[in-house]
Amino acid sequence: MIEIQDLSVIFGEAGQRVVAVDGVSLRVLPGESFGLVGESGSGKSTILRAVAGLIDHWGGSIRIDGHPVGRKRSRDFYRLVQMVFQDPFGSLHPKHTVDRILSEPLIIHGLDDAEARVRAALDQVQLGPSFRFRYPHQLSGGQRQRVAIARALILSPRLILLDEPTSALDVSIQAEILNLLDDIRRDLGVTYLLVSHDLGVVAHMCDRLAVMRQGALVEVASQGDLAAGALREPYSQQLMLASKGYDRAVVNSFTDT
């Protein structure tokens, strides 16, 4: 579904150049859920934004569904690829009702039968019809993230990019959203590319994952490898042990970060 070859993203002018992504190649299969994990500055979100077309100065090649994509994306591209952002407080227009938020993509893409599609999308994210004419400030964080997911689903995309979709939520709400995302993938067969700093979330959601560090891809592992603790690279091991909680011996074993 996604083929990334030698992707590089550089920010800043000469002299203050920051190589945010440094020659990364990876493939995501159709229907797969693939995770990008790493600490801040690892380049994981930058890869996602390059795939989404939110950054226009990347180098290398990106192919989606077999077709190379350019700097500027067509309207058709966004029928295929949609995104859910981290902060459900910032990603929904505060003065638009849920109905308008969900209808807008339909209008842009000239789709009819908005009524039925909006209802179906709300149903898909398990929000009742009573939510349709509410404003974002009348919703909890978890409900807002459901609306953001419904907005991504309403164009029936085949690839959904998830940027830390639950990191702003309490852990009990996170569980509900992760279960919902899992159901959606199983029902619709969509592909996920998920970015998270939380190895627990990635372990739960993804078939495979790539560990990133300072713009480079450290290793690709399967969910089984991660669960069994069978990561090859010392940095991935360190990240995994650190994610399991506080352990003085583990802290002492850290190499410089």
Partner 1 sequence: MQEKSGIILDVEDLNIRFDTPKGEFHAVKDVSFRMRREKLAIVGESGSGKTQTGRAILGLTQGRISAKRLAFHDTSLLGLDAAGWRQIRGRRIAMVMQDPKYSLNPVMTIGDQLIEAGQRSLAPGSVRSRALEMLEAVKIRDPLRVFNAWPHELSGGMGQRAMIAMMLMAEPELLIADEPTSALDVTVRLQVLAILDDLVKTRDMGLIFISHDLNLVRTFCDRVLIMYGGRVVETRMARDLRAATHPYTQGLLACSPEIDRPTRRLATLQRDPAWAEAPAAAPGAAPADTGS
Catalog residues that contact partner 1 under the rule CB under 8 A: 39-40, 170-172, 174-176, 178-179, 182, 197-201, 203-205, 223, 226-229, 238-240, 242-248, 250-252, 254, 257
Structure token digits, residue 84? 């859910």
Cβ–Cβ < 8 Å for 147, 126: no
Going by the DSSP 8-state scheme, the letter that residue 125 receives in this structure is T
- Angstrom distance (rounded) from CA 194 to CA 204: 11
Quick one: which H or E segment has residue 52? helix 44-52
**Shortest separation between residue 203's beta carbon and partner 1, angstroms:** 4
**Shortest separation between residue 35's beta carbon and partner 1, angstroms:** 12
Chain centroid, CA 107 distance in Å = 25
**Shortest separation between residue 73's beta carbon and partner 1, angstroms:** 32
| Pick 105 or 142: Cβ nearer partner 1 | 142
| Pick 37 or 153: Cβ nearer partner 1 | 37
| Pick 12 or 224: Cβ nearer partner 1 | 224
**Shortest separation between residue 100's beta carbon and partner 1, angstroms:** 28
Cβ–Cβ < 8 Å for 178, 204: yes
| Pick 117 or 146: Cβ nearer partner 1 | 146
**Shortest separation between residue 211's beta carbon and partner 1, angstroms:** 12
| Pick 99 or 225: Cβ nearer partner 1 | 225
